[in-house]
Amino acid sequence: MNTEISIPEKVMYKALLEKDEEFEGQFFAAIKTTGIFCRPSCTARKPKPENVEYFKTPREAMVSGYRPCKVCKPLAHSREIPAEIKSLITEINNSPSLKISDFDLRSRDLEPNRIRRWFLKNHGVTFQGFQRLMRINNAFHDIKNGDKVISAAFENGYGSLSGFNYSFKKNADFNPNQSAAKPALTFTRFTTPLGPMMAVATEDGLCLLEFTDRRMLETQLKQLEKHFRSKIFPGKNKFFQETEKQMNEYFAGKRKEFDIPLIMSGTEFQKSVWKILQSIPYGQTRSYKKQAELLGNPKAVRAAANANGKNNIAIMIPCHRVIGEDGTLTGYGGGLWRKKWLIDLEKEKL
């Protein structure tokens, strides 16, 4: 077994048996009898424990002579958005008033229940609910841009003004005619080598960038809605394409700095901590104690660490570069395995 993996072998084998997606990216299982290596969530037949060897990365498995599994495709991005889902989202983005029914899905050889499950798992709503939120979000932007409420309603597929008003208020928690005074919060989702990430942006900049499996993500989203006094909807935003582009460049080792406008929502102390985080150079690390000293209060180690944990914008505000005084990796909302991966990537690409 690869010595860099801190997960007990029994735990990894149990994850392999249960096809546990929560262990995606943490290890790869190589099968001695077949000469292939797999993701933890692979659906292929499971081997006996004595026939499994574990590796931290696909590269290590291939160097040891193993081939990638054709079932789970371990060299592809983990939890990548399926092509048919990506196509549906693009179609809805381009035509928010469009209503794609279960009948329409079947006519495209897509199983409605599978589509429904994917959206529930990844967006917390059904496919029909996702479409409804997209229409509301588009109408919200139309009204903010000067359209009358009745025009926004009919242009986004609503047959009556009363039905639109009811649906809008139910989903947005405010009346359509209040839209002009509310900031627009929009989210998107994209894949990375470390799993899918969610981005939330206003018209002024990015206010959240997180791995979608972070346990605190739901709390972070609620805090954003409370801070901005507005709801978060799926949809388009002028910063999303550039965010995904710059993140892809970062993961490829071709970008060391980001220039996306960031909107930091927090206390003044938290903002001061996040500003200091942004001063840590690419490929370098800094201790929590040093962070506190730079804040002007060497005793504020715990407070600085807590502020690190409240950071909503992963990687671009590099809290992964902060480590323990003794050099140990501690405290990262995206998981310590991701923290190590990011630090190793940056050191390798210096």
- Pair 91, 29 in one domain: no
- Pair 96, 39 in one domain: no
Domain membership of residue 216 (yes or no) is: no
> Domain with 95 in it: what CATH number?
1.10.10.60
Domain membership of residue 61 (yes or no) is: yes
Residue 220, token pair as written in the block: 């972070």
- Pair 146, 263 in one domain: no
Domain with 108, as residue range(s), is 83-181
> Domain with 299 in it: what CATH number?
1.10.10.10
- Pair 253, 326 in one domain: yes
DSSP for 218-259 reads HHHHHHHHHHHTS-EEE---TTHHHHHHHHHHHHTT--S---
- Can you give the pLDDT of all 350 residues of the chain as single tens digits? 444 677 889 989 999 999 887 787 788 999 999 999 999 989 888 899 999 999 988 878 877 888 889 888 887 665 567 888 889 988 988 887 889 999 999 999 999 998 998 888 778 789 999 999 999 999 999 999 899 999 999 999 898 999 999 999 998 999 999 998 899 999 998 888 887 899 999 999 999 999 988 888 999 999 999 999 999 999 889 999 999 999 999 999 999 999 999 999 999 999 999 999 999 999 999 999 999 999 888 888 899 899 999 999 999 999 999 998 888 888 888 888 789 889 999 998 88
Domain membership of residue 217 (yes or no) is: no
- Compute the distance between CA of residue 120 and CA of residue 277 in angstroms, rounded to an integer: 35
Domain membership of residue 220 (yes or no) is: no
Domain membership of residue 190 (yes or no) is: no
284-341 per-position pLDDT tens digit: 999 999 999 998 888 888 998 999 999 999 999 999 999 988 888 888 888 887 898 8
Positions annotated as catalytic residues are: 319
- Pair 269, 327 in one domain: yes
Domain membership of residue 26 (yes or no) is: yes
- Compute the distance between CA of residue 12 and CA of residue 205 in angstroms, rounded to an integer: 40
User: Which residue has tokens 């047959």?
Assistant: 159
- Pair 207, 346 in one domain: yes
**Which of 90, 11, 97 lies closest to 54, judged by CA?**
11
> Max CA-CA distance within the chain?
68
* Strand-by-strand arrangement of the 36-38 sheet: 52-55, 28-31, 36-38, 67-68
174, 182 in Cβ contact below 8 A? yes
Domain membership of residue 73 (yes or no) is: no
- Pair 17, 138 in one domain: no
- Pair 90, 157 in one domain: yes
- Pair 280, 326 in one domain: yes
Domain membership of residue 197 (yes or no) is: no
- For the chain, the domain total comes to 3
> Domain with 60 in it: what CATH number?
3.40.10.10
- Compute the distance between CA of residue 49 and CA of residue 52 in angstroms, rounded to an integer: 6
- Compute the distance between CA of residue 318 and CA of residue 275 in angstroms, rounded to an integer: 10
- Pair 32, 124 in one domain: no
- Pair 112, 28 in one domain: no
- Pair 207, 344 in one domain: yes
